Amino acid sequence: MQSITLQTPDDWHLHFRDGDMLKETVPATARCFKRAIVMPNLVPPVTDADMANAYAQRILDARPQGSDFTPLMTLYLTNQTTPDTIVKAKQAGVVASKLYPAGATTNSDAAVKGIEALYPVFEEMQKQGMLLLIHGEVTESHVDIFDREKAFIDAHLRKIVDAFPALKVVFEHITTSDAADFVLDASENVAATITPQHLLLNRNDLLVGGVRPHNYCLPVLKRNTHQQALRRVVASGSSKFFLGTDSAPHEKHRKESACGCAGCYSAWSAIELYAQVFEDLDALDKFEGFASHHGPDFYGLPRNEGTITLVRESWSIPDSIVLPNGNPIVPFFAGQTINWKLQTS
């Protein structure tokens, strides 16, 4: 096969950041994705409809000329979020709210402490038809970092799904066989996103031969057996799993530091890397569903019109990209050669 044509895909989980960073991240995503679910963990976080609308406008202002890329906005849940916050956000076009346990990832210090306290908010989300997006990890220091996803399922996620059966829940960037099995066994109102890094790498790629900071993300890469479980579910074609890059840019000096930031910036190569995964799995016939169909179907949105085409062409991902402020950022899979490239003309 020398080319792959897909109905235009979407990215159902990413981080654009803010300010000058948008001049890099928005065009990188808009090159191949028509829509994206935009994470709200800015400083300060996006916690109400007015903030979501203002952030959306900044993203739209950063689009390349002629682009029709559309950001899909989310709210950041805190212990101050109320049911009325959800009603107003839904009326303003916000499609989902994001649950971060406090301390789970970048800029999550303002996040939820005591998840049960948000049950009235979940009830309103269920009523309004607003999706709940979950970073599914516990953050208690005594729980091993490699076990935190499973612990979250057992302590919180099962209870949420049971208590709110009509609430659509996306278990984001899953990393374990436990998470994959939970989603498969759950109702049709539970789905999951999977990142390129969790399909391509395991914890050996983070730790063997020295720590590799540009492969450090949260949830952290897990052992090979979990990686293989994720690869099996995407190869199966199950509609419960869809594309969400979790593309998360950080300047090089912030990654390569004594307390390096978590996140892989995959936007400039994500669709090509996913294509490589599906080819390696002999499952290219399942690629379009994962990239272009399952996400909008779950969100209750129309599938995109138009197509993109990937051609078989070897190319190397750049070692670094210079941001508008002049600082470098190291993209995911920097310096490595991949076999598919987005056709741009």
- Asked whether 244 and 197 are in contact (CB, 8 A), the reply is no
Residues designated as active site: 246
- Asked whether 126 and 151 are in contact (CB, 8 A), the reply is no
15 among annotated binding-site residues: yes
98 among annotated binding-site residues: yes
Residue with tokens 């995959």: 266
246 among annotated binding-site residues: yes
**Strand partners for 316:** 337
41 among annotated binding-site residues: yes
214 among annotated binding-site residues: no
159 among annotated binding-site residues: no
173 among annotated binding-site residues: yes
- Print burial letters for 151-176: b (CB count within 10 Å at least 16), e (below 16): bbbeebbeebbeebeebbbbbbbbbb
**337: Cα within 13 Å, side-chain hemisphere:** 5
**271: Cα within 13 Å, side-chain hemisphere:** 29
79 among annotated binding-site residues: no
What CA–CA distance (Å, rounded) separates 194 from 287?
Answer: 13
218 among annotated binding-site residues: yes
Reference 296, options 125, 168, 153, 163; nearest CA is: 168
Q: Residues annotated as binding site?
A: 13, 15-17, 41, 98, 135, 173, 218, 246, 250, 262
What residues form the annotated binding site for Zn(2+)?
Answer: 13, 15, 98, 135, 173, 246
**Residues that constitute the known binding site for substrate:** 15-17, 41, 135, 218, 250, 262
